[in-house]
Chain A
Amino acid sequence: MAAAYDMAVSSVGIEKGGGAPVVAVENIRKSFGNSRILNGINLTVNCGETLAVLGRSGTGKSVLLRLIIGLEKPDSGSIWIHGQEIVGLALDQLGAIRIKMGFLFQHAALYDSLTVAENVAFPLDHHRRDMSISERSDRVRQLLAEVGMEGHLDKMPSDISGGMQKRVGLARALALEPEILLLDEPTAGLDPISSGEIDDLVLKLQRERQMASIVVTHDLHSAKTIANRLAILNEGDVVIEGKFEDLQQSEIEFVKEFLKQS
């Protein structure tokens, strides 16, 4: 398995000696019915790095994240997390990988029958039974304080705004101290001020925790703010990948048009 991983890493162009990527996606294809969404995607993310995946609506950005966390299975290709291939793993085996990952859903996906504090405590209640109840409670307060939601412990998700739900969703995603953070449209539907606050929060967390992150967004401003590298998807392929300056210098028509319209 290690030899196959090394081959996959070299095939997607990682420099030798640069450190193995934490997430490696190799030649991923995915269709829904007759519609081909991803057409042989290759991407890597290293420790401490943030990759922003941009593109038009419906180009498969969210599908890519769902494939990486294992909520969807690719039609072909490989996905490696910390050197382990996850395609084809059973649900419980996948669980051991997912514990190292945090996922923020586009609409936060908070459990609507639980309070804000109970939502954040949910992963801890299941995976950190070694912690006492008071330790878990302190951890929940700490996480909510990090995202600026410490005054809303007992509120229900329906009682808070969309931006606040995303903050709580982010706190929940960080509960198990993940090494990899996946963010699906973290600023979608938010006003510019709230978007800025989410971006600042993500940057702060990145500085403090040095996670590998993949952010799916259509917001170029947000991507420029929080990401080290950007990748643009179009019609199932990665059209360009690199720093924002590389994108600005690109001669590809679609990239120029995308940057102009954003």
Chain B
Amino acid sequence: MSSGFPNVAGVSPPLPERRTELVATAASFTARLMNDTFEWFGNLGIFFWQVLRAAITPPYEWRELIRQLDEVGSKSLPLVALAGAAVGAVLSMESRSSLTRFGAKSMLPSAVVYSVIMEMGPIITGLVVCGRVGAGIGAELASMKVTEQIDAIEASAINPYRLLAATRVLACVLMLPLLTVAADACGVVAGWIAQTLVEPISLQHFIDQGFKSSTLHDLLPPTFKTAVFGFIIGLIACFQGMRTLGGAEGVGRAATNSVVLASLFVILADVVLVKFILVVFP
């Protein structure tokens, strides 16, 4: 097609043709990205269905479930407690100066408690467990996949979705709310410590003031929303691990992807769940 310009060797094609090329490249990239994304979600859906079917049909893997409850719950507790405490202390220190400026220093205990139990405790617990448990499950199952251990389980007439995936997902769902309670408790105590170092106040008084405007109605929905976080972490980590290819590089990629994707979906789920809680529990 003639563009009206001489075809001189070494000179870039005219602007309209370059624009067309760029648009075509961008369109192709977008189409490929969308295709890969839909394929990923489709495979995740199939994986979820296989795990669900395996989870609800006997024989149940109780021993493995108990082992995973220990792995997810008790072994994550120190890290979650520390993270909760750090958040509580920081909240207390930061809120103090803001509230003092507006003459509302007396509201500090309520502000700390309310922030910790409504949002900071649950989201911090979710993200910490994403990192520790998500990476651990992703790497463990990926390593088993590349060394044919999952194939060996299947060849032994044992359902790997039931033994490996369902137990881990269920452990994450059950343990996240309990870990959140621990994080909340540590956050409130650390908030009190930060406050009492500046202006002494008894723990009893701090807690009374803190929970004066909070009820069980405020504590339970944010705590139980972490069960959804647990489901996301367990499902994505197991999915990434059990479909790994590519040796050591694949194991590393599975662990990284488990953390990144689970964290992303936990944050997105938090947005949706907060809105849901505000509507259902006004």
Q: Which residues of A contact B (CB under 8 A)?
A: 66, 69-71, 91-92, 94-96, 98-99, 101, 103, 105, 107, 109-112, 122-123, 126-127, 172, 176
Of residues 163 to 208 in B, which have CB atoms within 8 Å of A's CB atoms?
A: none
| Assembly CA distance A128 to B147 (angstroms) | 26
Return chain A residues, CB-CB under 8 Å to B148: 105, 107, 109
**A107 & B147 in contact (Cβ 8 Å cutoff):** yes
Return chain A residues, CB-CB under 8 Å to B151: 66, 71, 105, 109
**A126 & B149 in contact (Cβ 8 Å cutoff):** no
- Min distance, Cβ B217 to any Cβ of chain A, angstroms: 44
Return chain A residues, CB-CB under 8 Å to B158: 95, 123, 126
Return chain B residues, CB-CB under 8 Å to A123: 156-158
Pick from B143, B144, B155: contact of A98, CB under 8 Å: B155
What are 13 sample pairs from A and B whose C-beta atoms fall under 8 A apart?
A71-B155, A91-B154, A91-B161, A92-B57, A95-B158, A98-B155, A105-B151, A110-B152, A111-B149, A123-B158, A126-B59, A126-B156, A126-B157
Return chain A residues, CB-CB under 8 Å to B156: 98, 122-123, 126-127, 172, 176
User: Does B256 interact with chain A (Cβ within 8 Å)?
Assistant: no
Pick from A103, A126, A176: contact of B152, CB under 8 Å: A103
- Min distance, Cβ A118 to any Cβ of chain B, angstroms: 12
Beyond A105-B151, A112-B149: 12 further Cβ-contacts under 8 Å?
A71-B151, A92-B159, A94-B157, A96-B157, A98-B155, A98-B156, A105-B155, A107-B147, A109-B147, A111-B152, A112-B147, A176-B156
**B152 & A105 in contact (Cβ 8 Å cutoff):** yes
Q: Smallest CB-CB separation from B143: which chain A residue? A: A112
| Assembly CA distance A186 to B151 (angstroms) | 17
Given contacts A105-B152, A109-B152, A111-B152, contact A91 B147 (CB under 8 A): no
| Assembly CA distance A202 to B155 (angstroms) | 20
Return chain B residues, CB-CB under 8 Å to A94: 157
Return chain B residues, CB-CB under 8 Å to A110: 149, 152
**A103 & B155 in contact (Cβ 8 Å cutoff):** yes
- Min distance, Cβ A165 to any Cβ of chain B, angstroms: 11
**A99 & B147 in contact (Cβ 8 Å cutoff):** no
**B157 & A95 in contact (Cβ 8 Å cutoff):** yes
Return chain A residues, CB-CB under 8 Å to B155: 69, 71, 98, 101, 103, 105
Q: Mark B129-162, 1 if CB is under 8 A from A, else 0.
A: 0000000000000011001110110111111010
Q: Smallest CB-CB separation from B159: which chain A residue? A: A91
- Min distance, Cβ A177 to any Cβ of chain B, angstroms: 13
**B147 & A98 in contact (Cβ 8 Å cutoff):** no
| Assembly CA distance A92 to B50 (angstroms) | 11
Return chain A residues, CB-CB under 8 Å to B152: 103, 105, 109-111, 172
- Min distance, Cβ B64 to any Cβ of chain A, angstroms: 10
- Min distance, Cβ B165 to any Cβ of chain A, angstroms: 12
Return chain A residues, CB-CB under 8 Å to B143: 112
Q: Smallest CB-CB separation from A105: which chain B residue? A: B148
Chain B CB within 10 A, most for which of A92, A99, A109: A109
Return chain A residues, CB-CB under 8 Å to B154: 70-71, 91, 98
**A95 & B149 in contact (Cβ 8 Å cutoff):** no
**B149 & A98 in contact (Cβ 8 Å cutoff):** no
Chain A CB within 10 A, most for which of B149, B151, B152: B152
**B157 & A109 in contact (Cβ 8 Å cutoff):** no
**A95 & B159 in contact (Cβ 8 Å cutoff):** yes
Top 9 nearest A-B pairs (CB, nearest first) are A98-B157, A109-B148, A109-B152, A95-B157, A103-B155, A99-B157, A123-B156, A126-B158, A105-B148
Q: Smallest CB-CB separation from A127: which chain B residue? A: B157
| Assembly CA distance A111 to B144 (angstroms) | 8
Return chain B residues, CB-CB under 8 Å to A99: 157
- Min distance, Cβ A188 to any Cβ of chain B, angstroms: 14
Return chain B residues, CB-CB under 8 Å to A69: 155
Return chain B residues, CB-CB under 8 Å to A109: 147-149, 151-152
Return chain A residues, CB-CB under 8 Å to B159: 91-92, 95
Return chain B residues, CB-CB under 8 Å to A91: 50, 154, 159, 161
Chain B CB within 10 A, most for which of A101, A105, A172: A105
Q: Mark B63-87, 1 if CB is under 8 A from A, else 0.
A: 0000000000000000000000000
| Assembly CA distance A126 to B50 (angstroms) | 20
| Assembly CA distance A112 to B59 (angstroms) | 24
| Assembly CA distance A238 to B147 (angstroms) | 29
Return chain B residues, CB-CB under 8 Å to A66: 151
| Assembly CA distance A112 to B141 (angstroms) | 12
| Assembly CA distance A99 to B159 (angstroms) | 12
- Min distance, Cβ A128 to any Cβ of chain B, angstroms: 12
Return chain B residues, CB-CB under 8 Å to A92: 57, 159
Q: Smallest CB-CB separation from A122: which chain B residue? A: B156
- Min distance, Cβ A131 to any Cβ of chain B, angstroms: 15
